[in-house]
Structure 1
Amino acid sequence: MPASVSRQQYFETALDVLAESGFPGLTIGRLCAACGVTSGSFYHHFGGWPGFVVALLEFWEDRQALLLRELAFGTGGPEADFAALMRLTHGLRHRAEAAIRAWAMNEETVRAAQKRVDEARLKTVGKVIGGLVGDAVTAKVVTAFGMAMLVGHQQLASAGEDTDLGELLDEYTRLVHSHAPGLDGPASRWESQRNH
C-alpha cells in the first residue's frame, strides 16, 4: 500500500466515486480505499473533509479552463471555438457532474461552486454563440437551450437512461448553424471531426 498519492490522484478518484456512487458514496474511507492509502495520507494533504471538498471543487472548476486552453480555445474565431466547446462538452465526466449537481442541493459550498461553473459556462458559450448568430436575443435563447440539453443529458445518464450525447450535440450544432448567417449549411467542424 503506498504511503501517499498526489492531490490530483485524490481528485480524479473522487470524480470516479461520484460517477459510480453519487455524492453519498464519497467518504474519506471510500476515497482512501480506492486510492490504496490510509487516512493519514488524506489528512496530510487536506487537513480534513472541508479542506478536501474545497480543493476538489477548485480542481473541477479549474479543469474547465485548462481543457479549453488545451483545445486552443480563443485562437481561431467563433466557428473553431464552437467546435472546441462541442469536443469539451462531449468529453466531460457527465455522471460525476450530475452527482456534483445533486450534492449542490445539499451543501452550500458545493452549491456555490456549481453556480460559478454554470455562470462561467453560460458566459463562455454565450460569447461564442453570439459571435456565430449575431442576434443577442437569439444567442441568449440558444445558449440557454444548450445548457438545458447538457444538464438534462447528465441527469438522464446518471439515472441509467441511454442518451447519445454525440447525436444531441450534432442536433445542437445544426440549430446553432440554422441561426448563423453565412455558414455553409448545418454540418460543422464538430461533426466532421467526430466522424473521423
Structure 2
Amino acid sequence: MSRVVTKEQYFDTGLLVLAEFGFKGLNIGVLCRRLGVTSGSFYHHFGSWQGFVDALLDYWENRQVRILATLPFNQGNPDDDIRTMSVLAEGLHHAAEAAIRAWAANDESVNLALKRVDESRRRTMRKAISGIVADDATTDAVTSLGMAMLVGYQQIAAGGEELSLEGLLAEYARLIYSYADTALAGAAE
C-alpha cells in the first residue's frame, strides 16, 4: 500500500537525490522508491516530469526568500545583514546546488532558474555589503568575489575535498569589514 506524501517531500527528496547522484540520477523511479509511493502519486502531484522539474526549481528558487523572511535582514543593522548572509550560505544544500549547476549546462529551464537564483543572491549580498562598504565599485567587486567563493566552494566540496565554509565566510566578513576600516581611515585624514 502506498503512503501519502506532500510536494515538499518530493522536493526535499529530489534535492537529496541530486546531491547523491547528480541530475542524471534524478528520475521518477528513484523518487518514488525513496518516498515509498507509486508513480501514480508522482503524476497526481505534478502531471509530468517537466511539471516536477518546474515545481522543484520554483521551490529551490524561492527558498532564499522564505528564509530571509524569518531572519533579521534589511532592518537597518548592517552587522545583522552580514551575519544573515553567512547563515544563508551555511544553510544551503551545497551538494545539490553543485548538481543543479551541472544540470543547468544541459537544460535551459534549469539554467534560467539558476540565473534567477544567482541574481537574487547577488542582490542580497550587495545589499548587505553596501551597508558596510561605501564605494559602489568596491561593493560590486566584493559581491562578485563572494559569489565566486560560494560557487567555488560548492564545486570543490562536490568533488570530495574537505573545505571549511565557516572559515571561508569568516575571512570574507573580515574582507568586507576591512573596506569599512579603509573608508573610515580615509575620512579621518
Aligned mates of 1:2, 1:170 — CA distance in 2:
47
Task: Indicate the residue corresponding to 2:152 in structure 1.
Answer: 152
Q: CA RMSD in A?
A: 1.6
Q: Equivalent residue of 1:102, what SS?
A: helix
Q: Which runs of 4+ in 1 moved over 2 A?
A: 1-4
Task: Indicate the residue corresponding to 1:129 in structure 2.
Answer: 129
1:68/1:85 contact within 8 Å kept: no
- Equivalent residue pairs, number: 184
Deviations 1:105-128 (A, max 9, x none): 000000000000001111111121
Deviations 1:33-75 (A, max 9, x none): 1111010000000001000000000000111111111112222
Q: Equivalent residue of 2:131, what SS?
A: helix
TM value normalised by structure 1: 0.90
Aligned mates of 2:4, 2:76 — CA distance in 1:
42
The aligned amino acid for 2:74 is G
For structure 2, list consecutive stretches of 5 or more residues without a partner in the other structure: 184-189
Task: Indicate the residue corresponding to 2:164 in structure 1.
Answer: 164
TM value normalised by structure 2: 0.93
Task: Indicate the residue corresponding to 1:40 in structure 2.
Answer: 40
Task: Indicate the residue corresponding to 2:186 in structure 1.
Answer: none
Aligned mates of 2:122, 2:167 — CA distance in 1:
21
Residue 2 (str. 1) matches residue 2 (str. 2)? yes
Aligned mates of 2:76, 2:10 — CA distance in 1:
35
Aligned mates of 1:72, 1:9 — CA distance in 2:
27
Shift of 1:76: 4.2
Task: Indicate the residue corresponding to 1:188 in structure 2.
Answer: none
The aligned amino acid for 1:33 is R
The aligned amino acid for 1:109 is S
Counting only pairs closer than 5 Å after superposition, residues 1-196 of structure 1 correspond to structure 2 as: 1-181=1-181
Shift of 1:131: 1.7
Deviations 1:8-57 (A, max 9, x none): 00000000001111101100000111111010000000001000000000
For structure 1, list consecutive stretches of 5 or more residues without a partner in the other structure: 184-196
1:133/1:181 contact within 8 Å kept: no
